Amino acid sequence: MGLHLVYIILTTLILSLFFCFRKKQNSTVKFIPLFLLFQLLVEYYIYRVWMNFEPTSDIYNYYTNISICIYLFFISNMVVSKLIKRIIYAAILFTFSTLVFIIFDQDIIFNIYNYMIGALLVIIFCIYYMLEVFKLGSSPNLLTESSFWLATAFLFVHLCGFMLFSLNNYFLDASQDTITSLKYLLSALNYLYYMLISMSFLCKYIFKTY
């Protein structure tokens, strides 16, 4: 939350528009600008709502749910195993269907159960992707693999953010000091996350392909 996050996403989006549609890039990377645009619009909208002192938790509930579906879609493009692909599609359907519960949920607090299940799914499938890389090792240089950077970014944001977001509701009435400290932590998480996302489409230009 905050304008600086909007700026980070905007910068990443501009960079992605320059690099994602080049010939060298694979098809998965081409979806990144669309995903970033979605994030930018939602984050900006949340910022506007927040500035009007209105609650943002319900928007975050929808946003988290749809984001998890998108993360899973990206991972389904990255893994090789057809069986796991099918399981991921089923997970996407399941996550999407939980939107119904959010619609009928009258609480305006952040739905940590939805978040935790989604984050766990993303973490599991990211680790599976890493295992696949471990087993197959087909790429000559992993550092030039967009999928590897994307999986690292997703794994990082969900593992590191797990505690932060799962305990989110405990901090609703926290003191200003605690909220400031948490904001710093969240900023660090976002900076690193978008840096990793940027690496997914810049890696082919930064590292040498053997």
**Please, what is the minimum distance in Å from the beta carbon of residue 110 to other proteins?**
14
**Please, what is the minimum distance in Å from the beta carbon of residue 198 to other proteins?**
16
- List contacts with other proteins (CB under 8 A): 127, 130, 133-134, 137, 139-143, 148, 152, 155-156, 159-164, 167, 170-171, 174-175, 177-178, 181-182, 185, 189
Which residues touch 60 (CB under 8 Å, ≥6 apart)?
A: 46, 110
Terminal alpha carbon distance of the chain: 41
Q: Which is nearer to other proteins, 3 or 127 (CB)?
A: 127
Give the 3-state secondary structure of residue 44. helix
Q: Which is nearer to other proteins, 19 or 129 (CB)?
A: 129
Q: Which is nearer to other proteins, 49 or 84 (CB)?
A: 84
How far apart (Å, rounded) are the C-alpha atoms in residues 66 and 82? 23
Q: Which is nearer to other proteins, 1 or 160 (CB)?
A: 160
**Please, what is the minimum distance in Å from the beta carbon of residue 155 to other proteins?**
5
How far apart (Å, rounded) are the C-alpha atoms in residues 114 and 103? 13
Cα separations in angstroms, 186 against 2, 46, 95, 157:
11, 16, 24, 10
**Please, what is the minimum distance in Å from the beta carbon of residue 14 to other proteins?**
27
**Please, what is the minimum distance in Å from the beta carbon of residue 19 to other proteins?**
22
Q: Which is nearer to other proteins, 103 or 174 (CB)?
A: 174
How far apart (Å, rounded) are the C-alpha atoms in residues 45 and 62? 13
